[in-house]
Amino acid sequence: MFGFLISAANAIACTDKFEPVCGYWMHSPKTQTFKNECLMREAGAKKRHAGSCADAPVKNQPGQSVAKPGK
């Protein structure tokens, strides 16, 4: 289904497209997975990373190797 979600407060039209993004609120440890970046911004959150918050990206620090699954 394709549609638009409209906020009366900020007059932002967001699509209903599913492109999950993990967002957070400043000064709060809380994160939330949003359906897309537009809905995340509408909620006043900032982007942490693309995808679900449960799928946190692995960061490779200098001098550290990242093990690949099954290896």
50 assigned to some structural domain = yes
Domain contains 48? yes
The number of domains in the chain is 1
45, part of any domain: yes
- For residues 14 and 39, the answer to whether their CB atoms sit within 8 Å is yes
Q: Residue 44 domain-assigned? A: yes
Within a domain: residue 11?
no
Q: For residue 23, give its domain range.
A: 18-55
Q: Name residues whose C-beta falls within 8 Å of residue 23's C-beta, 6 or more positions apart in sequence.
A: 31, 32, 33, 34, 40, 43, 45, 46, 47, 48, 53
Q: What is the pTM of this model?
A: 0.63
CB atoms within 10 A of CB 50: 12
Q: Per residue in 42-69, pLDDT tens? A: 999 999 999 999 987 666 545 544 444 5
CATH code for the domain in which residue 31 is found: 3.30.60
pLDDT confidence of residue 55: 84
Q: Is residue 64 included in any domain, yes or no?
A: no
Name the amino acid, one letter, at 20.
P
- Report the first-to-last Cα separation within the chain, whole angstroms: 40
